[in-house]
Structure formats: C-alpha cells, structure tokens
Amino acid sequence: MKNKDVKFFTKLLLLFVVLFPQVKTYSNEEKYKYNCANKFYRYYLDNEPIEYGLSAGYYEPGKEAYIGLSLYSGNTYNFGRLQINPPGIELCNVGGPGYFLNDSSQIWYLYNDKHHNYKWVDSSDGKVVENAIEVGEDALGYLLYIGKIQKKDEPVIIGVVVPFMGVMYYVDHDGISKKTTTDYQVLTCRSCRKEEKIPMPKIDTKPNIDDSNGCIHKWQLYNNDDSLTKTGISAGEYDCGNTAYIGKAKNNGVFIPGRIQTISPTGFYSANANKPVYLTNGSYYLVDNPNYTYTWIQYNKIIPSNLVYVRNDIGAFAIPIAKIKINGKIKIGKFLYPTAAIADENGNDFYYEDFKVLVCDPWPKYKCAQQWKKLNANISVDGFNVDSTSFIGRGTRKCINGCDYGLGKIQSGSNGVNYLDDLTSTAVFDNSSNVEYLVKNPSDTYKWQPSRNGVKVVNALELHKEGHRPFYIGMTRINDNVVVGKVRPGDGLFFIDPVTGKQQSTSSYEVLTCTSPDASNGEYEEESDVDWFGSFGCPVRKEWSFIKWRCVCRDELRGVFAANGAQWNEETCSYVNA
C-alpha cells in the first residue's frame, strides 16, 4: 500500500472515531436508577392487556394472567389476577370472601412501560422491599403493595400485600376462599429516566345514589296503599298468590333491601345483623321504568356488571339485591359475595349459594327475532363477525323431530362452516346448501355475557331445541383465537379445538345475548320459573336436597329397568350397562 493511501485511511479512521464515539455500556444499576411512575389503563373486557399489560404468569395452560386493579368497598384499591378468558378480574375482598368481577367501569391493568425494569422479589412477614410499587393506602392508612404466589405447576395468584399486617391477602384456586400468606413475592420497579409521579385511577367515593350501569332508578315512598301494585317491580309470590315487591329501608342508619308486601301484615320486611326489620312506614319501593329491562338472573360466581344496588351516602357503600324461592315463597335480601343473606320469618339471616340477583339494562326487554341467511359471497355485509376474518355460521345435521344445528365459524371467502358433530364428537366441514350465517341487525343490542356450567342466560340467542331444552351460541378463546360452539343446558360449552380438531368443553365461557328496542322485531319475554332446570338451578332429572346440600336424582326415576346387570348412574340419573 502506498504511503498516501496509509495517510488517507488513517485520517478516515480518526474521522470515524470523532463522528461515532464508542458506545458506553451501562449496568442495570446505572441504567435503571430512578423511581417509576406507573400507569393503569382501563380494562374494557377485551384483548388489550395482551399487548400492553404486564404479564404475571399463567392461570391456566396457555392462558396468561395480568396485574389488575379494582376497588374494595368503593374507596380502597385492590389488586387481583386479571384474565382475558373469561374476561374479568379475580379479587380478594379483604373484609370477606373472594369474588370475580367483570364490570369494565371498575377494572384497570398495569401498563408495561418499556423504560421500566420490573422484578418480582421474594419477601415474607411484611418486610420492606426496596423499590416496591406503592399502590396507595387502605381504609386505615396502611400502605399496599402488589404481591403474587407462583408455585410449580399451579396457577399464578395475584394479591395485596399489607406490610403492617405482615401478610398478603389473596383468593385461593377455588375462586372463593379468602386466605393470607406470610411467604410471597413483591413487584418492584425502577426506571431508566426521571418521571413525574402519575396519580392512581380516580375513585368516585360518592357515586349517584340511584345509578346502575346506565339505569337511573327511582325509589318511591311507600304509603301502605296499593300504589306499588301499579308501578312497582314484582319479585314473585311470597305467600299464596300475594305478590312481593322490591323495597328498601334504613336500619341503623343504613339502607338495606327487602320485601314489601301489600297483604296483612302490610309493610317492609328484611333483616340485618340477625335482627328483624319490619316497618309500616319509612320504606321505599323500586319503580318500574318501561324503558329499562329489570331481570332476575341466576348468580353463577360471576358478578354481573349491571347489578341493581341499594346505595348509601356513606362512601360508596352499596348492597346488591338478591332473592330466593323457598318452599314456593319469594324472599328478598342482600347479595354478599359470594352468598345471599336472606331473612327467615323470625328475622334471622341465613346464607345461600343458590339465588338470583337483580340487574338492569337501559333498553326495553324485547327478545331479538334472530335471522339466518343462506351462505353467499356478501356475508361480510350483514353477518355477525366474531373476529376480523370469521362469522357465526351453522349447518343442519338432522331434521327429523326438529332441526339440530351444528354451530361454528365461517371464514371470509369460505364456502362452508366448521362445527362439532354431537354424535361423533369430531369436526365437520359442511359446504352443503343448508349452510347459513347469522345476520346482525344494526338496531339490536348484542352482548357476550360471561356464564358458567350451562345455566340459563336471559335473552340468549337460541340455536335450536332438543325437546324443551334450548341450546345457545357460546364463545371462548384458545391461544388468542376466538372459538364458537354450542352451550348445552346444565353442562357447558362444547367446541372444536382449532389445533387438534377434536372436541373440547369448558364450564366457563360467554353466551351471545340480544335485545331489540322495537317490539315488532321480537317478542316480549316474560320471566318464568319454568325452564329446563328444576329447584334451585338443578339440571334436568335432578332436584335440590337440603339434607345433602346438592342436586340429587329424583326418586321417581329409579324404576325397574335394572335388568342384565345395569347399574344406576348418579351423574346421568339413569341405568347404564355394566
């Protein structure tokens, strides 16, 4: 190489060093040296946390859990496991049992800021952990932190750490039991840049005393007359043809729900703290609004987002309204997660796990008259889509004493529908002329309602009937894929696994419901106690036993058909061959 070439390359190298100085490497201690300003975003019961939330592990195989925030008693922060399927948050009520909440107006998730360094640090006995994320104070002024338990091959559990108490509060795997532990992990955070502290989500400590998810409730003073028989909301019979109405009254300065009756003894009846409350004045009854839909729905361990509360002006203290039918008589009481407190004739509270809660939707209750069309190229125009590329479809499996439809997804541009064959439990692709798709009426209101165990869901879209048992349209998610299937009454959702093509089932899923504002587009659906379930929500062929405290087979089913060694099956309530 010539001398002038060496000089040229030397100058070029010096220029490169000047323009592109050596990049300095930093350790985590040097890079992440500031306090974090954490953000919490509203969770709208959708898939957003998958992209933006901070993962905490798995709560079921293939299902990721996120860090969720909600409220306890309306004025205290509470942390729990946020999940996508079914959507909602599992919380530990520090003052009572745990519960599952799916009210999007009360749920936030922790945003995964890429400038932050999050770490789970082992801790115990309330020890102070450096850089732990402080998430406010409880009602007594104690600091709260985010904690978790992660045991091998078990679902992750998110809870609230109260250092002053030296424990972490959490919900056990059964989703109900409140427990504490002194051995847990605490979430810490450090930022790589200076940030201004972001306030926690705003809590409305004094909400409108008459609101409930869009419904503004009117309570009318009861004057011991028959006015409520014209405008009150009936809850059913409480005694020999006499109607019970929904009421509220104050006891020890707090409004509580109860039953108002118009036949002697006339007045308001309920109980609180095992003391009878019977009033002949000073009570109110709930006025029926013809523009709203008031419905009693079966509680299935998922708290509806549209509960009707008896609210008080003490913070956000509120009591949801519950009812139960005992020996044919309606009783109204308090919904205390996860049970209902119902008073007996002496004013003593008894707690039940099988009951109904009152909900309200701000539209008239006309059940949709669903419409199905033959599959054509224009399905994307008016079809009901479950994701960006697929729609709800059905194929006719048999039509002898009534049609049995196979329910599944139709992909855009496809000439058929994939569904589960109930007889063979295998996947079927139907591209016959019988394939139809569900039409989405723009004037109707559709909702995916979380449900479990095949219980009846009000205003659910019916697919077909087998005898008197209606089958419904259900949905779940498998590895972020929306899967459509049939909900079997008293059982659950049955569908095709998108990977294996085999039958799967789940007891936790969502049911498609629909209501119409136009009476001509549907039919008014009166509430009825007559459906495929027997007493206390027991499935077909079973009845409730107060002795065994569960559903048992009806005795009259045990006939003389046990020949040839057949054995009685308590699950199916029938004889089967040995």
| Residues 441 and 371 sit within 8 Å (Cβ to Cβ) | yes
Last residue of a domain, one of 327, 361, 395: 361
- Selection from 380, 337, 284 nearest residue 101 by Cα: 337
230 three-state secondary structure:
helix
DSSP single-letter state for residue 47: S
* Assigned domain for 16 exists: no
User: Does residue 356 share a domain with residue 219?
Assistant: yes
Q: How far apart are CA 128 and CA 537, in angstroms?
A: 48
User: Does residue 371 share a domain with residue 353?
Assistant: no
Q: How far apart are CA 418 and CA 196, in angstroms?
A: 52
pLDDT for the residue 24: 55
Q: Check pLDDT > 60 for residue 75.
A: no
Q: How far apart are CA 108 and CA 287, in angstroms?
A: 33
Q: Residue 322, Cα to own-chain centre: how many angstroms?
A: 17
Q: Check pLDDT > 70 for residue 494.
A: yes
pLDDT for the residue 121: 95
Instruction: Give the residue, 481 or 100, on which the prediction is more confident.
Output: 481
Strand (E) or helix (H) holding 12: helix 3-19
Q: How far apart are CA 257 and CA 175, in angstroms?
A: 26
Length of the chain: 578
Q: What is the CA radius of gyration of the chain?
A: 29
324-331 contact pairs (CB < 8 A, 24+): 324/352, 324/354, 324/355, 324/356, 325/236, 325/529, 328/237, 329/237, 329/238, 329/239, 330/235, 330/236, 330/237, 330/238, 330/244, 330/259, 331/238, 331/244, 331/259
| pLDDT tens sequence across 147-188 | 999 887 788 899 889 888 889 988 776 555 678 899 999 999
Instruction: Give the residue, 450 or 41, on which the prediction is more confident.
Output: 41
* Assigned domain for 200 exists: no
User: Does residue 426 share a domain with residue 516?
Assistant: yes
| pLDDT tens sequence across 193-202 | 998 888 877 6
- Selection from 352, 312, 346 nearest residue 334 by Cα: 352
* Assigned domain for 247 exists: yes
Last residue of a domain, one of 345, 361, 377: 361
Task: Please name every residue paired with 553 in a beta bridge, in sequence order, or none if there are none.
Answer: 542
Neighbouring CB atoms inside 10 A of 562's CB total 11
pLDDT for the residue 7: 60
User: Does residue 182 share a domain with residue 45?
Assistant: yes
DSSP single-letter state for residue 264: S
Q: Check pLDDT > 60 for residue 380.
A: yes
Burial class (CB in 10 A: 0-12, 13-18, 19+), 49: buried
**What DSSP letter does each residue of 437-474 carry, written as one string?**
EEB--TTSEEEEEEEETT---TTBPEEEEETTEEEEEE
User: Does residue 395 share a domain with residue 319?
Assistant: no
- Selection from 294, 307, 314 nearest residue 250 by Cα: 314
Mean pLDDT along residues 100-115: 81
Last residue of a domain, one of 191, 222, 252: 191
User: Does residue 117 share a domain with residue 71?
Assistant: yes
User: Does residue 185 share a domain with residue 247?
Assistant: no
Q: Check pLDDT > 90 for residue 329.
A: no
Mean pLDDT along residues 221-233: 83
| pLDDT tens sequence across 234-279 | 888 887 778 889 998 887 777 888 888 887 778 888 755 445 567 7
547-556 contact pairs (CB < 8 A, 24+): none
Written as six digits, the tokens of 10 are: 């030397």
The residue behind tokens 């209902």 is 340
What's the mean pLDDT when you consider all of the chain? 77
* Assigned domain for 502 exists: yes
User: Does residue 168 share a domain with residue 68?
Assistant: yes
User: Does residue 370 share a domain with residue 291?
Assistant: no
pLDDT for the residue 533: 43
User: Does residue 339 share a domain with residue 471?
Assistant: no
Q: Check pLDDT > 80 for residue 381.
A: yes
The residue behind tokens 């009570």 is 283
User: Does residue 559 share a domain with residue 435?
Assistant: no
pTM exceeding the 0.85 threshold for the entire prediction: no
Confidence of residue 5 (pLDDT cuts 50, 70, 90): low
Strand (E) or helix (H) holding 137: strand 134-137
Mean pLDDT along residues 46-75: 81
| pLDDT tens sequence across 305-314 | 678 888 765 5
Q: How far apart are CA 90 and CA 43, in angstroms?
A: 13
pLDDT for the residue 188: 95
Q: How far apart are CA 383 and CA 472, in angstroms?
A: 18
* Assigned domain for 529 exists: no
Domain that includes residue 230, residue range:
211-361
Q: How far apart are CA 498 and CA 231, in angstroms?
A: 51
536 three-state secondary structure:
helix
User: Does residue 518 share a domain with residue 462?
Assistant: yes
Number of domains composing the chain: 4
* Assigned domain for 177 exists: yes
| pLDDT tens sequence across 276-302 | 567 767 788 998 887 778 888 888 777
pLDDT for the residue 557: 54
* Assigned domain for 381 exists: yes
Written as six digits, the tokens of 505 are: 């089932």
pLDDT for the residue 67: 94
* Assigned domain for 203 exists: no
What does residue 196 show for φ and ψ, rounded to 5 degrees?
A: -85, 140
